[in-house]
Amino acid sequence: MIKENKKTKRNVAIIIIGLILVVAVATLSYALWTRNFTETGVNKNIYDCFTISYQETKGNGVTLEHGYPQTDEDGMQNSPYEITIKNTCETIATYNVILNKENSSTLDEQYLKVAVGDSYKNLNEYETTTTQSISGFNTAASYIIGTGVLTPDTTKIIDVRSWMDEDTSVANGTNKEFTFKITIEATAGDSGLLAGKILKSYPITPEEEMINGYDFYSYTKYNQEVNIKIGSEYFMDTLMNVHYTDYGQCVNGQGNFAPSEHCIEGVTNPSEYINWYTFANEDYFTSGGPLYKVLEANTTTILKADEIYFDGYDVEEGIVATPDDNGTSYVLRGKVNDNYVKFANQDWRIVRINGDGTIRLILKDRISPISQVFNKTSNGLKYVGYTYDNDTKCTKTSPCKSTYTGSETFVNSNGGTNSDIKKYLEQWYHTNLGSKDSQIAYGTYCNDTTMPKISKTDNNYIYYGAYERVGERHEPSLNCPDTNENYGGLYKLKIGLLTVDEMNIAGLPWYNEVNSDYYMYHNYWWWSISPYGAYNSVAHEFNSYNGYIDYDSGVGDSSAVLPVINLNSDVQITGGDGTESNPYVVK
C-alpha cells in the first residue's frame, strides 16, 4: 500500500538565463531567429537541496539557428539548451519546466514549437500556470512545458528546443518578435503525479544487486584466512553472472553459474583474478557453498577470501534502478500488488518509470482474439523484425517512428513493411486508445536485431542480441544496441510490446525457472518484442509462458498479445490506491 509522504514541501523557482528570439526585418521572407543568452557557457546555482546548471550545447553566447519554418523532424535536430537538475534531498521531488513569455512579444504562440526532450507541441497547446514574477522581466504568460520526478540523489538533463512551426505563413512570421525566459520550479513530494506515487511505494534496488530479476540474499564472512589449492576452479568476474538454477557445472561452457567467456578452468596464476569469484571446490555443487571472492593469492593457492553463502532469492515487491536509453528507469518487479491503473476504460499494470519520466504500462490481460501470430511469414531472418525491408536503419540517432494520424494505419518514418503483430496492435490502439492519444507518449521500443552470431555447435542456429544478454550472460539491459540490419532496431511508438530484458528485470526467470509470484504471471503464451534467433532460417521470437521466459515459438506460431503504452510524465491521478480493487484513475 502506498503511503503519502507528509514532509514539508519546498518550492523552488530557478530562473534560467534569458532566452530571446529576435526576428530581423526582411521583405517577403522569413526573418532569422537568433538565440541571445544574457549569460553564457555554464552557469551553476544551488537552491536549497537542488543543484541546477545550464549550458548551451553549441558554445557560448549568441548562436544562429534556422530562420525559417521547420518540420518537426528538422526542428528536433536543432541544438538544445541543456538544464541539469540534481535532487540532493532525501525525498523524491517533482519539477516543472516553465516557459515565461515576455510582454513585448508579437509572434503568436501558435507559431512557436517548443520541445522538452522528445515531446513537443505548439506553445499555445501547453497548460498555462500562474504568471511568474521575474526580476527585470515583464511576464505576460507562463506555460508548463515539462514535468517530471526526481528520486533522491539523482540527476536529470532537460533539453529545450524551439523552432518556427512549418505552417507559419510569411505574413505571420515576418517582423515578429518572441522573447521568453525559462524557469524551473521544484517541489519536494509527488504533487499528485502518478510517477511520484509509484517511486514512493517501494525501496529502490541498484541493478548491480540483482541476479536474473531477483534480489541476491547472502551472508558473508569477510577477509578470511583460507588455504585453497588451485586446481580446476571456476572463476567469474561478477556476481551478476551467477545464474539461479540447480548447482551446475561450468564444463564446456554449459554451466549454470557463468557463461563460457567468464568460466576459466585450471587457472595457473590466480593473482590475475583478485576480486573475482570462484567456487574453489566441489562442495559448492553438493552443499551450495561457500562461494569465494579472491582477495589474495599466489600462483598455487588462494590465501585470503571473502566467504559468501547463498541464503536464497527474493521475489518480494520492489523497484530496480537501471540505465535506459533516456536516463535511469525504475522497474517494478516481483510480487507487486499496487501498480494497477485504470486508463481509457482498460485495466493496466505499471511496469516502469522510464528514463524520460514517462510511465510504461502493460495491459492486465490479453486482448481479443486470444492469440495472434507475430508474422504470418516466418521463413527468413527479417521476419523477426517489428518492421522489415526498412529504407533506413532504426538506431538511437535515427529511430524509426510510427505516427498516429487518427486512423488505424500509422505512418512509418522508415518506410518499412509492418509485421502482422504491429498492424494488429495499431488497429487496437485506434479503436481503444485513439481518443486518449494526447495522454500517450512516444516510447522507446527495442526490437534488437544486432547481428546474429552463428552457434558454435550447430551452424543452423543463429542468435540475436537478447539471447546473448539474457540467456547467456544473464545481464538484461534497457539500452538498445544499434542494429546493422534493415529490419528491427530501435523504434519510437505509441504502442508496442515488452522486451525480454524488461520481463527478466521485472522478475520473470529464464527458461523453466518458474516464478508464479511475478506480477505479470500468466498461464498462457504471450509475445515479447525481442527476437530470439532462427533455426534453418525460420525466425523465432521470445515469449513467456507460465511464469518463465520461453524461446521455442516461431513467429508464425500464435501467442497472446498484451499491449504496452507509455503515459506522459505529467499524468496525474484523481483517485485510487493502486490495488486491483481500487486502481489509480488517470486524470
Q: Is residue 573 part of a domain?
A: no
Q: Are residues 67 and 165 in the same domain?
A: yes
Least confident span in 66-75, 93-102, 124-133, 428-437: 66-75
Distant-in-sequence, close-in-space partners of 120: CB < 8 Å, separation ≥ 6? 72, 75, 76, 113, 114, 161
Q: How large is the average pLDDT for residues 328-355?
A: 92
Q: Which of 250, 280, 314 is the last residue of a domain?
A: 314
Percent of the chain with pLDDT over 70: 71
Q: Are residues 229 and 185 in the same domain?
A: no
Give residue 39's pLDDT.
Answer: 32
Q: Are residues 286 and 400 in the same domain?
A: no
List the domain range (segments joined by +) for residue 104: 11-191
Identify which has the larger pLDDT, 364 or 35.
364
Q: Are residues 61 and 117 in the same domain?
A: yes
Whether the predicted pLDDT of 449 surpasses 80: yes
In sequence order, what are the beta bridge partners of 165?
70
Nearest to 570 by CA among 117, 131, 133: 117
Q: Give per-residue pLDDT as tens, 96-138.
A: 888 888 888 888 899 989 988 878 889 999 989 888 887 778 8
Q: Is residue 347 part of a domain?
A: no
Q: How large is the average pLDDT for residues 17-35?
A: 33
Q: Are residues 53 and 135 in the same domain?
A: yes
Q: Which of 157, 191, 225 is the last residue of a domain?
A: 191
Q: Are residues 238 and 147 in the same domain?
A: no
Q: Give per-residue pLDDT as tens, 233-242.
A: 555 544 434 4
Give residue 255's pLDDT.
Answer: 31
Place 207 in a pLDDT band, splitting at 50, 70 and 90: low
Q: Are residues 160 and 212 in the same domain?
A: no
Q: Give per-residue pLDDT as tens, 240-282.
A: 344 332 233 333 222 333 333 334 444 556 666 677 767 655 4
Q: Are residues 397 and 522 in the same domain?
A: yes
Place 79 in a pLDDT band, splitting at 50, 70 and 90: confident
Percent of the chain with pLDDT over 90: 33
Pairing of strands 387-388, 461-463: unpaired
Q: Is residue 237 part of a domain?
A: yes
Q: Are residues 213 and 96 in the same domain?
A: no
CA distances from 313 to 216, 287, 462, 515, 557 (A): 5, 17, 32, 11, 33
Place 305 in a pLDDT band, splitting at 50, 70 and 90: confident
Give residue 458's pLDDT.
Answer: 56
Q: How large is the average pLDDT for residues 176-202?
A: 77
pTM of the model: 0.71
Distant-in-sequence, close-in-space partners of 136: CB < 8 Å, separation ≥ 6? none
Q: Are residues 218 and 164 in the same domain?
A: no
Q: Is residue 433 part of a domain?
A: yes
Q: Are residues 181 and 237 in the same domain?
A: no
Give residue 150's pLDDT.
Answer: 80
Whether the predicted pLDDT of 34 surpasses 70: no
Whether the predicted pLDDT of 403 surpasses 90: yes
Q: Are residues 179 and 229 in the same domain?
A: no
Q: Is residue 322 part of a domain?
A: no
Give residue 316's pLDDT.
Answer: 59
CB 69 within 8 A of CB 167: yes
Q: Map residue 393 onto helix, strand or coil.
A: coil
Total number of domains in the chain: 3
Q: How large is the average pLDDT for residues 372-398?
A: 95
Q: Which of 295, 314, 333 is the last residue of a domain?
A: 314
When mean pLDDT is compared over 54-63, 216-225, 461-470, 507-516, the highest value belongs to: 461-470
Q: Is residue 586 part of a domain?
A: no
Nearest to 23 by CA among 136, 103, 102, 107: 107
